[in-house]
Amino acid sequence: MLPVFDDRGVSASIGIDGALYDEDAALAAAYMLTDRCHVAVDREGSVLTVTIRLKDGSGGEALKTACGDFGNALIDAALRARISDQTADIREALLKRAFGELAPRPGAA
């Protein structure tokens, strides 16, 4: 998942194994960079490609840092997605338990 920089060093592409990280995680991680970067996410087969370009047009260390931040954000996003999947049933049960009794009962005025 190492970034590949263009010849001017102002744009970086990161290939992501779709079997390891799902698209939602990649999108969530990309979203976190959108304050300072323009980010594009493309898919070809099972490979996701994320292209990162700093909004101020610079490159160098700032772009490398953005790529590193994306990698870390991707790991966190993937973990969050896993937690969400694993706890989906409990979350639903909690919501029903917490607010279900607020719903009108059949026959109630």
Partner 1 sequence: MPFRFHRLSADRVLLTNQGGEFALLDTADFDTFAGGTVPSDSSLHLDLKSKGFLTHGPDETELRVAASQFRTKKAFLEGGPKLHIFVPTLRCNQGCGYCQVSRAGVETCGVDMTSETASKAIDIMLSCPAKAVTMEFQGGEALLAFDMVKWMTVTASERAAKLGKAVRFVICTNLTLLTDEHLTFFAEHGVSVSTSLDGPAFLHDRNRPISGGGAHDIVVRNIARCNEALGSGFTSALMTSTVHSLPHARAIIDEYIAVGQKSIFLRDLNPYGYAIKTGHALGYDTDLFLDFYREALAYIIELNRNGTFFSESFACTLLRKIMTPFGVGFVDLQSPTGEGFGVVLYNHDGSVYASDEARMLGEMGDFTYRLGTVNDSYAAIFFGETMLDIAAAGVAESLPGCSDCTFVPYCGADPIRHYRTQGDPVGHRPTSSFCRKNMGVFRHLFGLLDSGDPEIERIFLSWLMPSRTVPPRPTWQP
* Secondary structure letter of residue 46 according to DSSP: T
Total residues binding partner 1 (CB under 8 A): 21
Buried b (16+ CB within 10 A) or exposed e, 30-52: bebbeeebebebeeeeeebebbb
Smallest Cα–Cα separation from 26: which of 60, 93, 73? 73
Q: How far is the CB of 8 from partner 1 (least distance, A)?
A: 25
CB 33 within 8 A of CB 87: no
Among 7, 19, 61, 98, binds partner 1 (CB under 8 A): 98
* DSSP letters for 7-28: TTSSEEEEEEETTTS-HHHHHH
Site string for partner 1, 9-48 (x = CB under 8 A): -------------------x--xxxxx-------------
Q: How far is the CB of 103 from partner 1 (least distance, A)?
A: 13
Which is nearer to partner 1, 46 or 72 (by Cβ)?
72
* Interface residue list for partner 1 (CB under 8 A): 28, 31-35, 76-77, 79-80, 83-84, 87, 90-91, 93-95, 97-99
